[in-house]
Chains A and B, each alone.
Chain A
Amino acid sequence: MTSSKLYNAIFAAGIALILACLMIGVKLDTDSSVLAVKGATAEQWIWIAVGISVVFLSQLFSAQVDALFGAIPKPNFKAVLPQEKKMAVLKPWLISAVIVGMLIWPFMVSRGTVDLATLTLIYIMLGLGLNIVVGLAGLLDLGFVAFYAVGAYTYALLSQYFGMSFWACLPISAGLAALFGFLLGFPVLRLRGDYLAIVTLGFGEIIRILLNNWTSLTGGPNGISGIDKPTLFGLEFNRRAKEEGAMTFHEYFDMDYSSSYKVIFLYLIAVLLVICVIYLINRLMRMPIGRAWEALREDEIACRSLGLNRTAIKLSAFTLGASTAGFAGCFFAARQGFISPESFIFIESAIILAIVVLGGMGSQMGIIFAAIIMTILPELAREFSEYRMLLFGLLMVVMMRWRPEGLVPIKRPNLELKQQ
């Protein structure tokens, strides 16, 4: 251990002390009428001391820390999975087994669990949509939730004012979200990537402001309630049909009414939508357009010199991502039955981005895992909920530092020159 390391560590600890003291060490007292400051409690000082020693030690042993993080094992699928030839035979069976499992599973567990699973599926859908934009095309979209909001409000408004059904609104929501994506992407995508990040960030905020203030149409902060649930070929899942003469699901099949049918039905729709989205994206990735997305992400100048139209390709990725969010938004509105601008704040965008980053940009498998972790962990650790966003932020920094390719990195066919 050299002395420069010790010097570095002391310096870092000193900086950490400065940073902590004026933020955690003194607190503005908002309770009394006159603004005053109060010192931190003993417990907080202990935490500051712990934090500073962590910084000190991690700097002192930075090489070891780097090695430790670098050594987190990457999942080695090759060792687990059978040979490629066998895999080709097994794959359809595996996929059908997973699908059948997902279809049967909700009938055996409680209502709450199925509801949580539906929420997870929404996040999977959103993650996959953002993955097209961020992971495949390499465009940073920080206002993804705006397209989600467009989809949700499209269904809510159409069903409220025109009484349109969920199934009719699903493509309209996706289409409208795609249109917004197109209109926003068109001016920005001709430019360097960072502009897109900040413009989408602004767009997300603007959509929220508009929804909040356009009270005559959107109901403002009160939102829209009483949105119709989806129907199965016109059969409702309520206790009684809304209109005279219409039949409900349990009447038609001559069963007793149970509220869990509705929850399971919503879950099954979500499964269907997620499967559609995964299938479509997988097809697209193998089409010339999908190849072009990834190529453009890797080297823009090379692609342009090969005659690829940069704007059109980026725009197609951006629009498709937006339409997936519109899809998810429409379903979200149907599931909740109530939406308000509160559901579409920047934090949601950040969570979706965290899912994509954690799972591994471009890796669909990883994103599905990450979405499951990100929705189930907060449910399990409710007492830490105030630290949730703090940890998300930290996670993004740490992941980019040590594991930019995510937890389940995508396997890309590559060829490397061997050193002679």
Chain B
Amino acid sequence: MSEFSLYLLQQLINGLTIGSTYALIAIGYTMVYGIIGMINFAHGEIYMIGSYVTFIVIAGLLGMGIVSLPIILVIALVVAMFIASTYGWTVERVAYRPLRGSNRLIPLISAIGMSIFLQNFVVLAQGSRDVALPPQIIGGWNFGDPSTFEVSLSYMQVLIFAVTFISMTLLTLFISRSRMGRACRACSEDLGMTNLLGIDTNKIIALTFIVGAALAAIAGLLLGLYYGVVNPFVGFIAGLKAFTAAVLGGIGSIPGAVLGGLILGVTEAMTSAFFPSEYKDVVSFGLLVMILLFRPSGLLGKPEVEKV
């Protein structure tokens, strides 16, 4: 292969890595939107909290003298998912549930308030500076000719692909096979009717927030380890990107969120391959406006019908 195509291959790998974490965050947006028709503005902050908890747990375990990497990662994953889910549940309980049935604008504003609150809560509790974690998973495979261009696939990237794939499979099984999953699907069809049929819709809504937050925490762990840095402001831009991914794939559709995340990740990687990397945010935002202009229902979404 030529040098240029190897370079593109490298960018594709990097793009898919970032894209799969966008997909994990985007699922949280898409599930909540699918059921209550609202954007969960605090979702990006949940992802950020997931990253912080991961760092705290890893630093704590290393401090205690536990060095076995798989044990550390599993404990960090479980704790981060648990804490982030608790935050997700609390956001729903405080900012959404008391306001159900009021004007659409009102829960939206309270969710933004929640997002500002959480961000500044972390700033006050953990400081606003970058926190760096030395790389835990080192090494990888290299392809190609070292004298021209070498494509590298690090173990960390493989871990990201694997964890994302496993979480997606589990989520799909949960949604399509379990009783709770069936209730979720029913709620997204028709919330009022589901309620009439004797399903506790409040519980299902809380569940979607919890599942979304848990997936965001997985993304927080993976991206935290991949970049090795976290600060209280990462949630804002990541949330924006993941929302773009959700809209790109068609908001409300879970496979759509995955597809959207991957496309967005690759687009960004390709952009930063040819332009200064500061402009990759501009491109992904431009993409969002373009989709809204030409295909508002997204790639896999169904067109919205307004009901009286």
Contact = CB atoms under 8 A, between A and B. Distances in A.
Contacts of B132: 35
B266 to A, nearest CB: 19
B119 to A, nearest CB: 8
A119 B202 CA distance: 45
A397 B41 CA distance: 13
B60 A396 contact: no
Given A22-B53, A202-B285, 13 more contacts: A22-B56, A26-B56, A28-B127, A192-B304, A202-B244, A213-B278, A300-B306, A301-B306, A350-B116, A387-B124, A394-B113, A396-B112, A400-B110
Interface in B111-129: 112-127, 129
Interface in A10-34: 15, 18-19, 22-24, 26-30, 34
Contact of B105 (A193, A201, A390): A193
Given A28-B55, A390-B117, A346 B236 contact: yes
A138 interface: yes
A10 B281 CA distance: 44
A140 interface: yes
Contact of B99 (A18, A300, A401): A401
A27 B126 contact: yes
B276 A213 contact: yes
A338 interface: no
A23 B113 contact: no
B137 interface: no
B106 to A, nearest CB: 5
A295 to B, nearest CB: 14
A400 B278 contact: no
Interface in B233-289: 236-237, 240, 243-244, 247, 276, 278-279, 281-282, 285, 288-289
Contact of A397 (B110, B127, B276): B110
A195 B248 CA distance: 12
B191 interface: no
Contacts of A410: none
B95 interface: yes
Given A22-B56, A357-B109, A30 B243 contact: no
B148 interface: no
A23 B122 contact: yes
A212 to B, nearest CB: 8
Interface in B71-106: 79, 83, 86-87, 89-90, 94-95, 98-99, 102-106
Contacts of A394: 113, 117
Nearest to A346: B236
B114 A393 contact: yes
B213 to A, nearest CB: 12
A390 B121 contact: yes
B199 to A, nearest CB: 21
A90 interface: no
Interface stretch (A73-81, A109-117, A203-211, A411-419): A203-211
A397 B114 contact: yes
Contacts of B282: 206, 209-210
Contacts of A254: none
A327 to B, nearest CB: 25
Contacts of A35: 55, 58-59, 62, 131-134
Contacts of B288: 199, 202
A401 B112 contact: no
A400 B131 contact: no
10 contacts: A28-B59, A30-B127, A36-B59, A191-B296, A195-B296, A301-B308, A389-B116, A393-B115, A397-B110, A397-B114
Given A24-B125, A37-B59, A187-B292, A18 B83 contact: yes
A224 interface: no
B125 A27 contact: yes
A197 B39 contact: yes
A160 B98 CA distance: 52
Nearest to A35: B59
A396 B109 contact: yes
A371 B213 CA distance: 35
A342 interface: no
B38 interface: yes
A97 interface: no
B63 interface: yes
Nearest to B230: A28
B293 interface: yes
Interface string A27-51: 1111000111100000000000000
B305 to A, nearest CB: 12
Interface in A183-237: 184, 187-188, 190-195, 197-199, 201-203, 205-206, 209-210, 212-213
B180 interface: no
B247 to A, nearest CB: 7
Given A28-B56, A198-B240, A205-B240, A15 B112 contact: no
A322 to B, nearest CB: 16
A394 B288 CA distance: 30
B285 A206 contact: yes
A256 interface: no
B226 interface: no
A174 interface: no
Contacts of A192: 304
Contacts of B55: 28, 35
B107 interface: yes
Contacts of A198: 39, 240, 243
Contacts of B12: none
A305 B25 CA distance: 38
A240 B103 CA distance: 57
Interface in A335-356: 346, 350, 353
B108 interface: yes
B279 A213 contact: yes
Nearest to B33: A194
Which of the listed residues A26, A37, A190, A357 has the most CB atoms from chain B within 10 Å of its own CB? Answer: A37
A19 B89 CA distance: 11
A106 B250 CA distance: 56
B170 to A, nearest CB: 24
A24 B112 CA distance: 22
